[in-house]
Amino acid sequence: MKIDIKLLLGASAIALMSISGTASAQDCPRGDLDERFCDADGDLIADIPTDPSEQIDPDTLIFAYTPVEDPAVYKTAWSDFLDHLKAETGKDVVFFPVQNNAAQIEAMRSGRLHIAGFNTGSNPLAVNCAGFRPFTIMASKDGNFGYEMEIITYPGSGIEKVEDIKGKQLAFTSPTSNSGFKAPSAILKSDFDLLPERDFEPVYSGKHDNSILGVANKDYLAASIANSVKSRMISRDVIKEDDVVTIYKSQTFPTTGFGTVYNLTPELQEKIRNAFFNFEWEGTTLEAEFSKSNEGQFLEMTYQEFWDVIRKIDAANGVSYACQ
């Protein structure tokens, strides 16, 4: 699946092709990055330009959170953090309520967005085509974040490892589910050379709890599920922990990644980074909103490590990004 950035972003992206700058003429390593960028250190994100004339130090910083149904709600939620960011950087800070992922990526690519939170699926496109440099995600106070996809079976099923699924049945939830279909399909293909219909019989339960209960009750031999749902079902005594056996656990799927555009000055990028990590959540508008999903701190991360599983899923599903 090839995603053409010109079609995604519209006619304005064509004009952006002229903003190739010095990087496009440089003979530098860049991997999957657009020709505007370099990646000399091999961390898969755009390097900060070494030429000071290519760096920017705007008086006003523009911040955008990943598109949501009602951006006004999140403007309020982020207000205390943006006040903190203003104090830490000495800059004016403006919340930019983007309407969709394409508009958010276009804004950063065209220089109209400096700090952002891109959702899990948009991170690779933002990194490769817009020069996004993510460095943090939200996590719970004890450091937990995201969730994992697990393939489960029941004791005595005869399935002890993933390869044993061959010739048998595997329950998915629905084709639109990440951990219930997309991620396991990609991982089974890339890591185990197992394809639905060809190597095993796929069935669909409709929901994660249906799959988990189906395995626990021995209606399904195996199922791919989100382990966060399994944990809640165990805590509510819907199933017992030893009713199911995990034969595969994915890397943790990250949540929204936060970072900066590549060409802010190194000093400004460091101030922004520090603002995320020294922000005190207690009693703030950010805590009031995001504690609902058990989030209470910014956790340091790298795109190279945390998004590895997402890139694997994209590659296994034939997804590539054409920035021009």
Length of the chain: 324
Percent of the chain surpassing pLDDT 70: 89
Determine the structural domain holding residue 184 and report its residue range: 149-249
Last residue of a domain, one of 228, 249, 270: 249
Clarify whether residues 98 and 237 are in a common domain: no
CA 147 centroid distance within chain? 12
324 falls in which pLDDT band (50, 70, 90)? low
Question: 59-73 pLDDT, tens per residue?
Answer: 999 999 987 656 777
Tell me what pLDDT residue 214 has.
97
Structurally, the chain folds into a number of domains equal to 2
Task: State the Cα torsion 144-75-94-34 to the nearest 10°.
Answer: 50
Tell me what pLDDT residue 176 has.
59
Residue 104 has pLDDT above 80, yes or no: yes
Could you tell me the strand order of the sheet in which 297-300 lies?
92-95, 60-64, 115-118, 257-261, 132-139, 297-300
The CATH code of the domain that includes 56 is 3.40.190.10
Query: For strand 320-322 and strand 222-226, is the pairing parallel, antiparallel, or unpaired?
Result: unpaired
- Exposure b/e, 23-62, CB count within 10 A at least 16 = b: beebeeebeebbbbbbbeeeebbbbbbeeeeebeeeeebb
Check the CA dihedral 226-229-235-237 and report its sign: negative
Distance CA 17, CA 82 (A): 32
11 falls in which pLDDT band (50, 70, 90)? very low
Clarify whether residues 285 and 241 are in a common domain: no
Task: For residue 266, give the 3-state DSSP assignment.
Answer: helix
Tell me what pLDDT residue 270 has.
98
pTM of the prediction?
0.71
If you write DSSP's letter for every residue of 61-117 in order, what string do you get?
A: EEEEPPP-S-HHHHHHHTHHHHHHHHHHHTSEEEE---SSHHHHHHHHHTTS--EEE
Tell me what pLDDT residue 26 has.
56
Of 12, 260, 273, nearest to 113 by C-alpha is 260
Distance CA 303, CA 130 (A): 14
Clarify whether residues 19 and 78 are in a common domain: yes
CA 301 centroid distance within chain? 11
135 falls in which pLDDT band (50, 70, 90)? very high
Clarify whether residues 16 and 56 are in a common domain: yes
Of 316, 308, 317, 299, nearest to 127 by C-alpha is 308
Clarify whether residues 30 and 179 are in a common domain: no
Lowest mean pLDDT among 10-19, 80-89, 208-217, 239-248: 10-19
Mean pLDDT of 81-102: 94
Clarify whether residues 225 and 282 are in a common domain: no
Question: 211-243 pLDDT, tens per residue?
Answer: 999 999 999 999 999 887 888 788 778 999 999
Distance CA 124, CA 254 (A): 12
Distance CA 82, CA 64 (A): 11
Clarify whether residues 36 and 173 are in a common domain: no
* Strand extents, DSSP E, the chain: 2-4, 60-64, 92-95, 115-118, 132-139, 149-153, 169-172, 201-204, 222-226, 245-249, 257-261, 297-300, 320-322
CA–CA distances in Å: residue 208 to residues 49, 57, 151, 222, 225 = 46, 47, 12, 12, 6
With beta carbons less than 8 A apart as the criterion, state whether 221 and 170 touch: yes
Clarify whether residues 126 and 197 are in a common domain: no
Clarify whether residues 127 and 168 are in a common domain: no
